[in-house]
Amino acid sequence: MAPSPLTPSRRRRLLPAVGYAVGMAVPVTALALLVRERVDVVLSYDAAAITAVTDLTRSHPGLCTALVTWQEAFQPIWVYSVGTGVCAWLWWRHRLKTRAIWGFVTMMVSWNIALDVKYVVQRARPVVEDAVSHAPGYSFPSGHAANTAAAATAVTVVVWPVLANPAAKMGVVTAAAVVVVLTALDRLFLGVHFPSDVTAGVLLGSGLVLASYAGFRGWNPAHSSERPDTPGPRPTDHSNRSPRRAEPVGASPGPSPTPKEQ
């Protein structure tokens, strides 16, 4: 009988994936319940924050223009197009096929889960007097925040093995964090999401990717996703060599052959 694929050692290796999933699900679920139950302290904080930041946006037309431009540039379709391009480049240039496939599939699943959660919670968007911008659909979680966090985290993870030095790794992590934070702030200052929406979005997007990667690594660590899928140099095979004849103890080597004997 074939052994069960879920062996005890594999279960232990999958524990980090469970940890990431729980670490993401608990705060997101808590925020969703607080929003659904209309807990006053959350609603009051959200409303006050939106009023303050949209007042600032209205008083600075240049800021408003920059925010709308960022909103359009970081629509999920464009964010995931860039992420897909990175995965394709990783596959083609570095032969990291399985890692590239994992990154693409994880981003697509994250995109759909973020959309599904919106329909579960069904929170209305902020109602702002003299609104700066308008957006369709439900508010919780922020789709822009969730999708940008998912794509930024996935891209960071997939390119990690090909980053040559600590400075490059720090640069990628910093750039990803800046993009996520600016996208979250963009949603607030345009008045299309509450603070709890963008918080849940960032937690959901990054948490899904980290949990997925921990599961990917834990399920089959024998498959190296850190190295190119092309085989390396083969070890020298000595099995077909004839054994070397042992020289008698104390025997001196014979004379070198003359050119004729060669």
87 close to 104: Cβ distance less than 8 angstroms: yes
pLDDT in tens, 11-30: 666 666 677 777 788 888 89
242-245 contact pairs (CB < 8 A, 24+): none
**pTM for the full predicted model:** 0.77
Q: What is the mean pLDDT of the chain?
A: 81
pLDDT above 80 (res 241):
no
Report pLDDT for 212. 87
The domain locations on the chain are 16-219
By the 10 Å C-beta count (0-12 exposed, 13-18 middle, 19+ buried), 79 is classed as buried
16-219 domain in CATH 2.60.120.560?
Answer: no
Q: Compute the distance between CA of residue 129 and CA of residue 58 in angstroms, rounded to an integer.
A: 11
pLDDT above 80 (res 219):
no
Q: Compute the distance between CA of residue 17 and CA of residue 122 in angstroms, rounded to an integer.
A: 28
CA dihedral 34, 39, 41, 42 (to 10 degrees): 40
pLDDT in tens, 134-185: 888 899 999 999 999 999 999 999 998 888 889 999 999 999 999 999 999 9
